[in-house]
Copies of this chain bind each other. A is one copy, B any other.
């Protein structure tokens, strides 16, 4: 099953990359952009999606400062078994 993990800085946690983007945009001539948050995107094939939460907590995200969200890209039923 192919899954997508979205990793974002937790609410209230400083996001220096997002701030940098937000500050750079007006200098490049783009106005009207706000609320920029920069995170990570991980896409992977997993055989056993039940353990994916553990993978996220231990390897992909830092649960102290980041939240993660898992999206299925191919439904489990779509695979040959």
Contacts and interface: CB of A to CB of B under 8 A. Distances in A.
Contact of A37 (B36, B39, B44): B44
This protein's copies in its complex: 2
A42 interface: yes
Interface of A: 2, 6-8, 18, 21-22, 24-25, 28, 30-48, 51, 54-55, 58-60
A34 B45 contact: yes
Contacts of A44: 21-22, 33-37
Contact of A2 (B28, B35, B41, B48): B35
A28 B58 CA distance: 9
A23 to B, nearest CB: 11
Nearest to A58: B28
